[in-house]
Amino acid sequence: MPIRLEMRGVRKAFGATKALRGVDLSVAPGEVMALVGENGAGKSTLMKVLSGAHLPDEGQIFLDGKAYVPGNPLHARESGVAMIYQELSLAPHLSVMENILLGIEPKRGPLLDWRAMRQRAADALREVGLEQIDPATPVQTLSIAKQQLVEIARAVALDCRVLVLDEPTSSLTLQDIEKLFALILRLKSRNISVVYISHFLEEVKRISDRFSVLRDGETVGNGITGETPVPLIISLMVGRSVDELYPRSHRTPGEVVLEVKDLAGVDKPTQASLQLRRGEVLGIAGLVGAGRTELMRAIFGLNPVVRGEIRGPASWATGAGMVSEDRKLEGLAAELSIADNLTLPLLDWWVWPSRQQRACRPWIEKIHIKCQSPGQRVAALSGGNQQKVAIARLLHADVDVLLLDEPTRGIDVGSKAQIYRLIDELALAGKAVLMISSYLPELLGTCDRIAVMCRGRLSETRERKDWDEHQLMLVATGQEER
Amino acid sequence: MKGKWLDIGGRFLALVVVFMFFAVLVEGGKFYTPRNLENLLRQSAVYGTAGLGMTLIIITGGIDLSVGSMIALSVVALSWVLNFGGSTGAAVVGGDQSAYLVYQHPVLTPILAVGAGILAATLAGLANGCMVVGMRMMPFIVTLGTMGVIRGLAKGIAHERDIYPPEATWIGGIMDPVLTSKGGAGVLLPTGVWILVAGVIVMAFVLRYTRLGRHIYAVGSNEETARLCGVKVGMTKLVVYTLAGFFCGVSGLMQFSYIGGIGQPTTAVTYELFVIAAVIIGGASFRGGEGSVLGTLIGALTITVLYAGGQQMGWPKWVQEMVIGGIIILAVALDRLRHRRVA
């Protein structure tokens, strides 16, 4: 069997972080190859290498037997490698045909050949089963599912040989998923190779011919999907040992401080109930996009609540505080000082900068924020120290309920260990901690109880000892209804 | 903190350099006579006072293009009330039916007039704020619209004519030069300039030492962070736009006096550009989160010195305009360079 796309020993490092540590992948023409792995396993970096956004440090890539070194995304497209990202990359104000033929517009002399454009767009739309759509429709009037098909039509119009789909079903309804699968089968019959990236193993099982597992930037296994049981794939995905990173004192949970009943937000969550007790750490596992952040934001009043009930502290004034998953966009005002960031939630009518700074000093010392002074700009700090400022904000406000969304994302191991220790201390002191994390060992290491979010629904909460990575992954990928 | 004073110092130095440039080149030392210095301050007062509000708005990441119109509205509302209470002279509007109180206590008339001028502009600012916050519209678009609406309102109230108050009141004198007149030596500077000084001190204090001030910076620096930290983002913006209206109202009193005590509905056209320029030269950033009232004061002085200097050098108008435009671009370019160094 000839090989369409082959990657051998691809490596890529960003500074000290090794994002890819040896990836091997081969896809035959007309084959659907599933690429699976946990969050942060290196899938998106791999895609960026394929699309020419990053150059690999080492390794070789071949396309139909010829060396393929994409210098930029345009080059990748011209070579016949098309990417469909989770975040669609269409120009919303332009029409369907303009989007499909963007950059390869047919021309007659210096002018656009609108008739040829319409024709070619209509052909591409027919290929993806969207013949009922007028090519002149503005893209923004279409549903997300149809926009995705338009993007695939663009790939078809480019005569792509390899189509990479990144989590294509994450925002689709069941009906649309069926349509997408039908289309993938049609593309297969046209000898197009498909690389299908997904967390959802039941989809992988259904649509793919072969699979390849990525873990910590490395290919750790592959095989024929039909011959491999799902639990085996999962154990390949998570196969790690929990290290000694996580201190856990003996904690005895107290009374319930925060209760969430049948909560539903605008889009997500669709159904979530939980009880958070004093002196415990409650973890929320789940895949990116499952609705975990939306749940936390709804509890904290940042997202509207459509249905359900929240009882207990859910704002700064009533004794709750939240750490955002995105330090840069939401968590911190980078141009303001540490002192300003730390004291922002609870300022008196009069603010004395010297007092503000004095109030910060104990926290800076206690959780070891490396800085010159409390007056220093947050932007000047390292990621780990920035995150400590975001957490210190909660400590300073002395809240009873701590809502932590990915509290250790993107920080060094040393800072992570300090944050785990801090969470343990807080729980021991009788605070209630609700923590979202995509990193399963972290959840199993720090939490007392864990619930799992899958497609907007929160599972029942179970004791940590009743969970293992395998179980968490099963529920998170929708294999098991809880 | 040290960095901030260094920054203000640098801007002050630039002002001094610009001033020295004209001081040397304008012949006969006319540029630094006490009288000219006082004139520069008088001219700066109008921009500077309106600039206080604009500083707040730009710190929150917004913009207000309706400044000139709000100043005109204040001027017109003020003159209208003066005329309303006035019993003599050629009243243009409403002269015959007046409140009993005003007749009995003529001393109230100018006070009411001042109140009306400030109130009218404050309400206009509040309207700007309501649209920006309540309807989530871009401040640029909202105030581009209200620039026309408010100007039209001012013209409508004045029936598209200048309003001549029946008699001179103390309002007309708040910007009168005092250095060269006999009676005023004791107060050193015109009342209007003192009002500006007081405004700068109060607003500098508000920005640095009150919760409102810290919230204004937080909203401008990262609105999402502010929301996460429980800051009432909408309310903060509403207050800021309303305060901007208030300061335009005060600025309108000065403008009224400056143009000779006439209620001119077409006054202060394009002032928004000078005011925005003053704020930007003063170190504020359109991305929000940065800016200071002291910087704006220096910016207003710089603009005035450039303007007056160009005039007194006898430069043609087109040269003056090009120089001022060039200086604004230069100031922003220098800021960008400085930022890149820091980052």
Residue B217 and residue A336: Cβ atoms within 8 Å? yes
Q: Given an 8 Å threshold on Cβ–Cβ distance, is A393 in contact with B229?
A: yes
Mean residue pLDDT of chain B comes to: 88
pLDDT of residue B89: 39
* Token pair listed for B62: 């917004």
- Residues B285-319: tens digit of each pLDDT: 888 999 999 999 999 999 999 989 998 998 998 99
pLDDT digits (tens, 9 = 90+) for B33-70: 888 899 899 989 999 999 999 999 999 999 999 999 99
CB A351 within 8 A of CB B209: yes
Count of structural domains within chain B: 1
In this predicted structure, what is the pLDDT of residue A10? 92
Find all residues with CB under 8 Å of A480, minimum gap 6, and list them. Answer: A471, A474
Q: In whole angstroms, what is the distance from residue B180 CA to residue A353 CA?
A: 43
pLDDT in tens, B100-147: 556 666 788 889 999 999 999 999 999 999 999 999 899 999 999 999
Identical fold, A5-238 and A256-476: yes
Q: What pLDDT shows up at residue B87?
A: 45
**How far is A334 from B218, CA to CA, in rounded Å?**
10
The answer to whether the predicted template modeling score (pTM) of the entire model surpasses 0.90 is no
* Residue closest to A461 by CA, chosen among A303, A313, A281, A338: A281
> What are the two backbone dihedrals, phi and then psi, of residue B199, each rounded to the nearest 5 degrees?
-60, -45
d(CA B343, CA B220): 19
Determine contact, residues B102/B20, Cβ cutoff 8 Å: no
Residue A130 CA to chain centroid, in angstroms? 29
- Residue in this structure with the two tokens 């006969």, named with its chain if needed: B28
| Centroid of chain to Cα A34 | 18
Structural domain of residue B183, as residue ranges?
46-268
In chain B, the percentage of residues whose pLDDT exceeds 90 is: 64
How high is the ipTM of this complex?
A: 0.81
**Does domain A256-476 sit in CATH 3.40.50.720?**
no
B85, HSE (Cβ side, Cα atoms, 13 Å): 23
| Site of tokens 């639990």 | A231
Contact B217 A393 (CB under 8 A): no
Mean pLDDT by 10 residues, chain A (482 residues): 88 79 92 85 85 88 89 84 84 90 85 90 90 90 88 88 88 82 92 89 89 89 88 76 65 92 92 94 91 94 93 92 92 92 91 89 89 88 88 93 90 79 92 92 91 93 90 85 50
> Hunting for tokens 């005895």 — which residue is that?
A252
Q: Say if the Cβ atoms of A344 and B224 lie within 8 Å.
A: no
Domain ranges, ordered by start, for chain A: 5-238, 256-476
Q: Which amino acid is at A31?
A: E
Q: Test A333 with B213 for CB contact under 8 angstroms.
A: no
Residues of A in contact with B214 (CB under 8 A): 340, 344, 347, 351
Residue B275, domain member (yes or no) = no
Residue A320: strand pairing partners: A401
- Span A168-213, pLDDT tens digits: 887 777 788 888 999 999 999 999 999 999 877 888 999 999 999 9
Query: Given this structure, which CATH class describes domain A5-238?
Result: alpha beta
Please report whether residue B179 resides in a domain.
yes
Please name which of A302, A308, A249, A246 lies closest in space to residue A274, comparing C-alpha atoms: A308
The CA distances from residue A33 to A1, A9, A177, A222, B135, in Å, are 15, 18, 17, 10, 48
The secondary structure of residue B291, as a DSSP letter, is -
* Distance (Å, whole) CA A237 – CA B202: 62
Q: How far is A316 from chain B (nearest CA, A)?
A: 7
pLDDT category, B180, cuts 50, 70, 90?
Answer: low
Rounded-to-integer distance, Cα A178 and Cα A176, Å:
5
Residue B96: the pLDDT is 47
Q: Closest residue of B to A341, CA-based?
A: B218
Q: Work out whether the CA dihedral A160, A161, A163, A164 comes out positive or negative.
A: negative
Q: Which residues pair with A197 in a beta bridge?
A: A35, A166
- B258 CA to centre of own chain: 13
Note which residues in 388-407 of chain A have CB less than 8 A from chain B: 393
Question: Could you give the 3-state DSSP secondary structure of residue A67?
Answer: strand
Strand locations in chain B (E)? none
